[in-house]
Structures are given as C-alpha cells and as structure tokens.
Structure 1
Amino acid sequence: MAEVAAHAGVSHQTVSRVLNDSPLVKEDTRVKVLAAIEEMGYRRNNAARMLATNRSGRIGMISAHLALHGPSMIAVSVQEAGHDAGYDVSLVGVSDFAPESLQGAVDRLLDEAVEALVVAVAHRTATERALSLDLSVPVVLVQGVSAGQPMAAGIDQEAGAGVATEHLLDLGHRHVAHVTGPTDWVEAGQRRDGWRQAHEDRGLLPGPELPGDWSARSGYEAGLRIADDPEVTAVFAANDAMALGVLRALHERGVDVPGRVSVVGFDDVPEAAFYWPGLTTVSQEFSVLGRSAVDLTLRALGGEVEPATELVRPALVVRGSTGPAAPA
C-alpha cells in the first residue's frame, strides 16, 4: 500500500480511504489511486486486514442437498447478496444430518473466522439442531422457517402451495390430488398444509395424497395412480421434478393434459417452460431470499438483537399444463 501511495503521489491514508470507498476522497484522486493499483497489480492482504480490524469480511454458509434446484439456488442467491454487501461467502455442503456432520461444518467455518453463519437445511431434525446452536457468531436460517421467526429468512411455502391449489379450484377442479415431498422436510409439510388449507377455505375435501421424495421417478409412480383414478382432474406436485414424472406417466397412459387432468408444480426450474405442455408452477424469488438473509445477518452484526423479517411470497406462473375442469 505504501508503494501504491508513492506511485500515485498521495498519502498511505488516502490509499486506504480509496480501498474502503470513503466519500472523503476527491474523484480525480480516486481515479489516480485506482490507476496506480491496476498498474502495479496490487492486491489487498486480507490476512493482514483481518488482524488490523478484527473482522474477516466473511460469512459462512451450511447447505444440504445441493443437487436439488431449491437448495442450490438458495446457496447462489446468498453468495451473490453477500458479495454485493462486500462479504465473501464460504459454503460447506453436508450430505447427512447426523449431529457430528452439522457440528463438523460449523467447526470448519469457525476455523475460517467467519463473522456469521447462514444455515440452509430443510430437514426437520437438522433445523432443530441448527436452532439449538450456541455460538459466538449470529446464525441465520434460510430453510424450514416460519412466519415471524427471528433470525430466519424464508419463502412462504404454505402461501405458494395455496396459490397453486386455488388456481386449480378457480378452474373448476373440486378435489385436487397432491404429490408430497418427503415427510421429514419442513417445507414439504408446509406445502401440504397450503394444499389442504385451500380446500378447507372453500369447504371442499382434498383429493388423494400421494407420497413422493422430490424425484421425477416418485412423481411418475404417483402419476400412474392418478391416471387410473377417474375422480382426479387436477394434481399439485410439491416440486417440478415430480410434476415432470406425473406428466410422463399421464402421457404414457394416454391422459390428455390439461384436457382431462391439469398439473401444477413448485419451483419454476429453468426447464419448466419447456416441459410438454409447459408447466404451470410456483416461482420462488431466490434472489430476494438471498438479500433478505444477508440483510438479517448484517443487522445482527450491527448489534440488533434477533432481527426478524417477512417471508418472501412466491408467485404463480401459468402455462399450458392447466385448464378448466371438463364438464362432469
């Protein structure tokens, strides 16, 4: 930094102010310092900076099931929001929910001197363990959370499922079937609750409930049962992969979509618009979720005690897989 200052003809303090985006630096001076930095190939010594400020500028993140669309997009959104806020984000993936796995991930990130932790694990037991962590840094949850929960940012899964089911009921379908997610996932339960509540609000009994595990194969197996049930005219699948399996099974059985059965998914994966027919689905605002999680983190680091925020409300994207119920 001293060499940059000498090259630019300014003081060491001026270089420091430029690097920290201080408004006290004149624009022509800032340009001169940045030109010297680029010419000399200067890189900030983060280890020295951490020793001087006692801050690492790093947020740790623990995530599971990164092969699935939702968890992977949450991880991306938190990393992007963290970078926009001037923080590096260290991501550690866990493959199971044993106590030692979660603790190992926590220890690894604390060894990197992270200033806070963001935990994205929707499995019910893992969420409970995350809530019980007693650490010297703030912990923010971004999956498996409820409305009003402090230190938690999330997407309103129940509202999203409600919007999906109401769309089908508005089209004249009376008993919407549901392909569930795994029973030990908090968000699967919330989506199931939204499906049931939408029927209850209209005084209707829900259609059959079919077990799934987020995979297209489980959706396909559920779809074969739906194809054989003449009472079912609509189905809400708890994610798009299972909705794809449903569509495949209905196609193989010669069931017209949406002529006889309408199908709605959840996630709005990039491929959803290219399913045949294009999939009506619930879009989760992952970028908003990432910003919300990082905002909570910064508020906690700023001294706010257990800050809270509203859940992000998802939106329905209507495509060709849904249509009016056929006349009885």
Structure 2
Amino acid sequence: MTIDQVAAAAGVSNATVSRAMAGRPVRADLAERVLAAAAELGYQPNRAAQAIASGTYQMIGVVVPDVQNPYFSGVLKRITRSAGGSGYRVLVADANDDPGEEFALARSLLPQVDGLVLVSPRMPDTDLRRLAEESGRMVLVNRGPSGVALPTITVDAFAATMKVCGLLVGLGHRDVVYLGGPPAAWQEQQRWRALQHAEAFGLGARRLAGGSTVEDGYRVAEEALATGASAIVAFNDLLAIGVVHRLLELGVDVPGRVSVTGADDIPFAACLRPSLTTTRSPRDELGDATWDALVAAMAGESPEPPALPEPELVVRDSTGPAPGGGRAG
C-alpha cells in the first residue's frame, strides 16, 4: 500500500496525505477523508520519512560507558520511563569504557535523535566541544566543569567519598589503599581528590590502578592486600565485590583483617556476605533531573542546574575497627 493509493482514494494530493498522517495542519474535512481512506486501505506511513521531513524523530539517544553496570542501568531506566511518558523512544549505545568509541557513537546518534544524553562521559573536553558545536540538544551526566556550554547534572562524588573517609577514621583506620577507576572518569578524579583531602584528618591513602568491574576487583585484591593497609576503598561497588570475593577465597577476614568499601549502592551490595559498606547515589533524582534538562535543551532553553541530594553513607558489614586500633598515619 502506497501514499499514492491513499491520495487517489481520498481525492487529495500526496502532500495532503503526508501532512494529515503526520498530524500537521490540514483542513478538517480533508484530514477526515485521508484518515478514513488510510484506515480502509490499511496504510501505515513511513515514520523515518516523516521524521526526515519534519526534523523530529520522537527519539532520544543515551550513551553509557558500560550498560552492564547496574548504576548506569538504574539511571537509564529512570530516563527511559520519563521519555516514554512524553512519547519518546530511547536508543541506548554502550561505549565499552572507550572514550574514542564514545565520541564516535555520540556523533553518529546526533543526526538520528531529538536529544542526546551522555552518562559519565569519558571523552576529553576537546571532543565535547566538537559535539557541542554540532548540537546544543545534549545533557552531560556526572561530568564536571569542562568549559563546554552544555547542561550538566552531577552527583557529588567528592562529598560521598569524604563520608567514607570519616567512617574509616572513626573506626581507627589510618592507612588505606584506593583502587582507582577508569582514569578518564570525572567521578574517579573526585573520589581520589577526597582521599587526598582526608590526609588533613589523619587518613593516609595510596592509590592502585583498579578498574570498574568485578573481574578487575578480583584481579587486584592480592596486590591491595600486600600493601598492608587496614582498609580498601574501591572506585565502585562492582570493584569492591570482586575484592571481597577474592579475599574470602584467600581466607582473609573481612572486616576483621581488612575493611572494604564501594560506591553507588547497586542492588548486589546488600546481598554480598559480608554486605558491602558503600554510598548510595540519588539515582531517581539524577534521572528525573536529566530528563528535565534534556527537554529544556531540546526547546533551546538553558535551565539552572538542579540541587541534587548528597549521596548517603550506607554502613554494612564489610567495615569494622582497624586491627590493633590503626597505625600511625
């Protein structure tokens, strides 16, 4: 069935059929004839062609570093729900924690969507500026100041990590090892900055390359243990879960010998044995604020960044007093 046949049946032009089927202004009697003819003939319009003609797609794109990470999935689910309620579909792209692939994905999505969300983007500021020059219909999530004129919604990773540091100091820990995340991640930079600031109240920290997955945590657990630190602070919960798993295999008492903390409070954190001490990010508020900012960006507006709640400290069984009351820092 073609648009020509609908036009012939309704006694109108192809252009009138196209406008009526897209919901664009058409004289009421003509619109009725077109819709009746389309229904009788079983005609379905080509949505892609309509999008090209109108310049709108009712589609948004979301690029995430790792779609398997439950933290990103939680944010994505909230955005998807809001988008669906507004009549938009969501196209998700996984960058595999590769800044170059992330940039390429973002550029390829821009011509196909009405708006684009970059969640925890790893790409350098120069690439963000190139994207901003192509379109202002973008929102950055969990990315600090970059000199790019795009809306940015962030959770305070610095404050979250300072809460972890305060807990550990209160438990007598003075020497900790930090297992870092992806070097290009803004939250990684904020978490390490907090640990450096914690030296002011007696917490000494050294840094090891970690990663962002359970497998990464399992791999570096023995190296972290060999430092002699009484606590291990992991970049995220997945990394911490891998660490705890390997330590228990080695017969290491957690938290009797060494305490372990994560970040994000993914669903598995409470199910681990021992359950994981972590920080809980306001994912729902982050997702809602992201959608609101994207709607504004698509309308050409520049709203003020929202004030999101600070992450909460969630104390569970993987942290305890430092052996012997801690060492001198």
User: What is the rounded CA distance, in whole Å, between the counterparts of 1:44 and 1:264 in structure 2?
Assistant: 55
Paired residue for 1:285? Answer: 282
Q: Does 1:321 align with 2:318?
A: yes
Kindly state the Cα deviation for residue 161 of structure 1 after the two structures are TM-superposed. 1.5
Paired residue for 2:156? Answer: 156
Paired residue for 1:170? Answer: 170
Paired residue for 1:79? Answer: 80
Kindly state the Cα deviation for residue 140 of structure 1 after the two structures are TM-superposed. 0.7
User: What is the rounded CA distance, in whole Å, between the counterparts of 2:319 and 2:199 in structure 1?
Assistant: 18
Q: Match of 1:210, as an amino acid?
A: L
User: Where do residues 46-61 of structure 1 align in structure 2 (5 Å cutoff)?
Assistant: 47=47, 55-61=56-62
User: What is the rounded CA distance, in whole Å, between the counterparts of 1:45 and 1:314 in structure 2?
Assistant: 47
CA gap of 1:124–1:164, structure 2 versus 1, over 3 A, is: farther
Kindly state the Cα deviation for residue 293 of structure 1 after the two structures are TM-superposed. 0.7
Give the gaps of 5 or more residues in structure 1. 1-18, 20-41
Paired residue for 1:122? Answer: 121
| SS of alignment partner, residue 259 of structure 1 | coil
Kindly state the Cα deviation for residue 237 of structure 1 after the two structures are TM-superposed. 0.8
| SS of alignment partner, residue 208 of structure 1 | strand
User: Is the 8 Å Cα contact of residues 282 and 308 (structure 2) preserved in structure 1?
Assistant: no
Q: Does 1:192 align with 2:192?
A: yes
Paired residue for 2:89? Answer: 88
CA gap of 1:43–1:65, structure 2 versus 1, over 3 A, is: farther
| SS of alignment partner, residue 327 of structure 1 | helix
User: Where do residues 59-74 of structure 1 align in structure 2 (5 Å cutoff)?
Assistant: 59-74=60-75
Give the gaps of 5 or more residues in structure 2. 1-22, 24-41
CA gap of 1:57–1:182, structure 2 versus 1, over 3 A, is: closer
Kindly state the Cα deviation for residue 147 of structure 1 after the two structures are TM-superposed. 10
User: Where do residues 1-328 of structure 1 align in structure 2 (5 Å cutoff)?
Assistant: 47=47, 55-95=56-96, 96-98=98-100, 102-103=103-104, 105-110=106-111, 112=112, 114-125=113-124, 128-133=126-131, 134-146=133-145, 151-200=151-200, 202=201, 204-230=202-228, 232-305=229-302, 307-328=304-325
Kindly state the Cα deviation for residue 285 of structure 1 after the two structures are TM-superposed. 2.0
Kindly state the Cα deviation for residue 104 of structure 1 after the two structures are TM-superposed. 5.2
CA gap of 1:247–1:63, structure 2 versus 1, over 3 A, is: closer
CA gap of 1:50–1:208, structure 2 versus 1, over 3 A, is: closer
User: Is the 8 Å Cα contact of residues 289 and 312 (structure 1) preserved in structure 2?
Assistant: no
CA gap of 1:43–1:147, structure 2 versus 1, over 3 A, is: farther
1:48-97, Cα deviation, whole Å (9 max, x unpaired): 98699864433222233222233333322221222234432222333443
TM-score calculated relative to the size of structure 2 = 0.73
User: Is the 8 Å Cα contact of residues 62 and 93 (structure 1) preserved in structure 2?
Assistant: yes
User: What is the rounded CA distance, in whole Å, between the counterparts of 1:81 and 1:151 in structure 2?
Assistant: 18
Kindly state the Cα deviation for residue 279 of structure 1 after the two structures are TM-superposed. 0.7
Paired residue for 1:8? Answer: none
May I ask how many residue pairs the two structures share in their alignment? 283
User: What is the rounded CA distance, in whole Å, between the counterparts of 1:211 and 1:220 in structure 2?
Assistant: 13
Kindly state the Cα deviation for residue 137 of structure 1 after the two structures are TM-superposed. 4.4
Please say which of residues 190-199 and 314-323 is displaced more in the overlay: 190-199
User: What is the rounded CA distance, in whole Å, between the counterparts of 1:81 and 1:147 in structure 2?
Assistant: 27
User: What is the rounded CA distance, in whole Å, between the counterparts of 2:262 and 2:188 in structure 1?
Assistant: 13
User: What is the rounded CA distance, in whole Å, between the counterparts of 2:94 and 2:216 in structure 1?
Assistant: 25
User: What is the rounded CA distance, in whole Å, between the counterparts of 1:74 and 1:46 in structure 2?
Assistant: 32
User: Is the 8 Å Cα contact of residues 136 and 150 (structure 2) preserved in structure 1?
Assistant: no
Kindly state the Cα deviation for residue 102 of structure 1 after the two structures are TM-superposed. 2.7
TM-score calculated relative to the size of structure 1 = 0.73
User: What is the rounded CA distance, in whole Å, between the counterparts of 1:174 and 1:144 in structure 2?
Assistant: 30
Identity fraction in percent:
30
| SS of alignment partner, residue 300 of structure 1 | helix
Please say which of residues 263-272 and 240-249 is displaced more in the overlay: 240-249
| SS of alignment partner, residue 271 of structure 1 | helix
| SS of alignment partner, residue 257 of structure 1 | coil
